[in-house]
């Protein structure tokens, strides 16, 4: 099995004016595609990893040959993170009561949650991701470097947990439209969160 670029459930310009058409197109067809190509090339000769899903691959990093482990971690991480990211965004999705209550329970208020999410995203230096994760029935906000994902576990990522929402903090995700204004990019995210997906993932794991 080789990994392939997932189709987006919307058009490149559907998230305007928050995420612009050109960025969406390059992000999907160039950046994401490159992570996929690199992963496919690297696992081509590793029979053991031929028929596994990207989620399985990401939790089996220890079983990879040390020589290619970091390369596969970065690129398979890139494939997984972007596959998740496209599902986390959609226009005109109203937050539903269940996930809203859970957020209020864990962060005191929805406004506090937003403030903390923005703060952690802003304080993340360099490329990476900010995540809302679930672990032992508790929600928390964390950030990871490069293409690390909390599903990789603590040994390979900074945190372990189940991501239920995430935002790409690489400059390629916002530079065309927002230039150096990372804050406005982060704030724009609130307009296009697919809360149905967040709620769905919240209910998948304890
Ligand atoms: Mn990206």
CA 176 to chain centre: 20
How much distance in Å is there from the Cα of 172 to the middle of ligand 1? 6
- Which DSSP letter does residue 140 get? E
Considering the chain, what percentage of its residues have pLDDT values greater than 70? 100
pLDDT at position 21, please? 98
Q: Count CA within 13 A, CB hemisphere, residue 191.
A: 11
Asked whether 153 and 133 are in contact (CB, 8 A), the reply is no
Question: How far, in Å, is the centroid of ligand 1 from the Cα of 105?
Answer: 31
Q: Contact at 8 Å (CB) between 110 and 129?
A: no
Please check whether residue 15 is in contact with residue 44, taking contact to mean a CB–CB distance below 8 angstroms. no
Tell me the per-residue pLDDT of 69-94, one tens digit each, with 9 for 90 and over.
999 999 999 999 999 999 999 999 99
Residues with CB under 5 A from ligand 1 (ion): 168, 170, 173
Tell if the pTM clears 0.95, that is, is over it. Answer: yes
Mean pLDDT of 22-39: 98
Q: How many CA atoms lie within 13 A of 149 on its CB side?
A: 31
Sign of the Cα pseudo-torsion (153, 159, 161, 165, in order): negative
Instruction: Work out the pLDDT band at 1, boundaries 50, 70, 90.
Output: low
- Closest CA relative to residue 79, chosen from 107, 47, 42: 42
């Amino acid at each position: 099995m080789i990994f392939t670029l997932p189709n987006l459930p919307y058009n490149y310009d559907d998230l305007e004016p928050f995420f612009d058409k050109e960025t969406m197109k390059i992000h999907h067809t160039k950046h994401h595609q490159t992570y996929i190509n690199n992963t496919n090339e690297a696992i081509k000769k590793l029979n053991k990893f031929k028929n596994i899903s990207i989620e399985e691959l990401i939790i089996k990093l220890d079983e990879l040959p040390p020589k290619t482990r970091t390369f596969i971690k970065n690129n398979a991480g890139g494939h997984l993170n972007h596959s998740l990211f496209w599902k986390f965004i959609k226009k005109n999705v109203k937050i539903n009561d269940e996930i809203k209550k859970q957020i209020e329970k864990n962060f005191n208020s929805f406004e506090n949650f937003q403030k903390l999410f923005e703060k952690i995203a802003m304080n993340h230096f360099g490329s990476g991701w900010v995540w809302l994760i679930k672990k032992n029935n508790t929600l928390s906000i964390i950030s990871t470097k490069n293409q690390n994902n909390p599903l990789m576990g603590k040994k390979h990522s900074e945190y372990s947990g189940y991501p239920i929402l995430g935002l790409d903090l690489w400059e390629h995700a916002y530079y065309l439209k927002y230039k150096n204004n990372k804050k406005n990019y982060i704030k724009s995210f609130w307009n296009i969160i697919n809360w149905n997906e967040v709620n769905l993932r919240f209910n998948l794991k304890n």
